[in-house]
Amino acid sequence: MKHHSLSRTRVALAIGALLLAGCNDNDSTPKPAQPTLGHRTVSLIEQDGLQFKDLDGSGTLTPYEDWRLGAAERARDLVGRLSLAQKAGLMMHGTLVLDADGRVNLTAMDKMLREDGVNTFITRMAGDPAAIADDNNRLQALLEGVGLGIPMTVSTDPRNHFTHDPNATSIGAGAFSQWPETLGLAAIGDAALVQRFGDIARQEYRAVGIHEALSPQADLATEPRWGRINGTFGEDNLLAKSLVKAYIEGFQQGSDGIGPESVVTVVKHFAGAGPQKDGLDAHNPWGKEQVYPGGQFAYHLVPFEGAFEAKVGAVMPYYALPEGLTHEGQAIEEVGFGFNRQILTDLLRGHFKFDGVVLSDWGIVNDCDSRCEQGLTQDEVTAGVSPWTVPFGMSWGVEKLTKAERYAKAIDAGVDQFGGVEDPAPLLAAVQSGLVTEAAITTSAERILEQKFALGLFENPYVDTQAAVALVGKAEFQQEAQAAQAASHVLLKNEGSLLPLKADGKRVYLHNVNAEVAKANGYTVVTELAQADLAIVRVNAPGEQDPRFPFGSIHFGQLGFASADQVVQETAHEGIYRGADEYAAIQAVAQAGVPMVLSVYLDRPAILTEVAPAAQVLLANFGALDQALFDVISGKVKASGKLPFELPSSWQAVQNQHPDVAKDSANPLYPYGAGLAY
């Protein structure tokens, strides 16, 4: 048995275990600590007074079953026992199929689990942590008896951020703890708090059997029109670097790589999404280009340095293709980042020395046919047809390649695993036709398996359902989360030092605020502005959406408040303006002459020029319960946030700024870092 790749600690443990076989009962040599072995169908093997799972059913201990060995050595041993088809299955990152009740449909998943060798899935199960835990246990039990017993890795998009719901008086029991968006954490700017957030989310994820976080976003908010800014840490690259590092240290439990209690983090979207042409998003065929007119490509790499310092487990490249980009004197190929060897092999693996898993964004090998490019017809939109009936694919820059050729180009670029696909047949066809070598497949499969071993899933992939119910969203976690919701508010205006404000039974008019919460905080709620002493108004930042496309809900375009007949469509793609009703509500309060506390939810920078004069108090929030807002109004919790991006003063200023340059809007209404104290 080879031990050359083991750490000193692992070598000592392995040698100690071998010596035990010849020792008498009086030998004081310590044994390695026996891990808990979760098993349903496989037998256990006794050796050297220790237990191991007989995952291959051989009756003897094979190296990959030996938990005393290092993850890399076990992965090498196991990958050597797999067929080409099994290795290809490891490279698929599928989606758990749910039934009408939101539970996993095992029947619908049977083929991909038993025949296709797929064992990594994103879960979109919501709600009851007991149900999530129970379904993940059922899947693990099934896979325990398939092939060589490779356990399932479960991933998720972020679950711990709160978008305002005026019907909610609190966070319901059993929900994951709800924090502000990462923009709110950036507004607070405290790396220790971000690490604490990551640690709490890690505990909640692992409690229900989730092992991989498809986050954080290390992208920068340099293009204010881009619709995915709410998942970033703002536009300052050094702050983002610090908070990205802290986020990963919280989820992965430090900066030493993946351990048995870690959640693997997938930092995205290399090499920095955000500087999108006209602010349009690359999920859609009309937003595929990424541009750098300010020459700031290197600025967007800095946040990823924090991820690499924290030994991030995985990296996800973005859909977009770089238009006219040069780096270190070399022209970069104009293909999606997931197909770009210069970006993933030369820069990511070469310059940054990243040795983890490269996971593609979802659907990059899929076709985008004419239906995908055009979306629903207007008649279909009017009839209420779901845009998700439109097939989608994001193979930008390689649309003319076959699916097998796209797999080959992505693997040659450096991709190890493909998001959003469950069928390994096109990948196998690429190998059989000579487009991809089996050696390349083996390398990727080994990286993926090494993380499964490091996570401890081969020893115990099961979770305690009742423990999950007790831990997820427990009071202590939610109290910390709600305190962060309140503290992340940014106070932009406090005319006449209106805040902090005592309720004292004041008659309050509410817009998008829960009346029961207002009453609980000492206010008398009225429904007519003429009766009000005060108005508390909550609105969302404006934006445009396109209901014709599956990802048309991602905001783009207009950032300013206006009435429906005032909006001028000046974007590169026609959309439906969302903001006229919010503007009308603000105008109504202003015209009534009622003092107004206005809180704007910023998922992107907004142009507040038309509404700021109407408010006596102007707050920015990044996801907060109404109670968190009232805590700020009363002064119970101070609004301590600072703007993580600048707020432009006009649409013309937005059009004149460079998508890749931070803090370059002319005469911003509120600059980066703005925020008052009281």
**Amino acid identity at 391:** P
Report residue 399 CA to chain centroid gap: 27
H or E element at residue 598: strand 596-601
Among candidate residues 278, 361, 626, 660, the one labeled active-site is: 361
Q: DSSP per residue over 417-432, as a string? A: BEET----HHHHHHHH
Reduced to 3 states (helix: H, G, I; strand: E, B; else coil), residue 211 is coil
- The question of whether 412 is a catalytic residue gets the answer no
**Dist CA 150 CA 152 (whole Å):** 7
What distance in Å separates the CA atoms of residue 160 and residue 129, rounded to the nearest whole number? 13
CA–CA separation, 88 vs 82, rounded Å?
A: 10
- Residue 32 has a CB neighbour count (10 Å cut-off) of 16
Q: Which amino acid is at 612?
A: A
Cβ contacts of 355 within 8 Å, gap of 6 or more: 349, 447
List Cβ neighbours of 56 (8 Å cut-off, separation of 6 or more). 62, 65, 81, 148, 149
Please give the DSSP secondary-structure letter assigned to residue 217: B
User: Which DSSP category does 345 fall into?
Assistant: I
Tokens 């959406």 label which residue? Answer: 545
The one catalytic residue in 77, 134, 135, 236 is 236
Whether residue 246 contacts residue 185, with contact meaning beta carbons closer than 8 Å, is answered with: no
Q: Between the CA atoms of 545, 547, 550 and 556, what dihedral angle is there, to the nearest 10 degrees?
A: -10
Rounded-to-integer distance, Cα 459 and Cα 475, Å? 31
**219 noted as active-site residue:** no
Q: Which residues are catalytic?
A: 236, 361
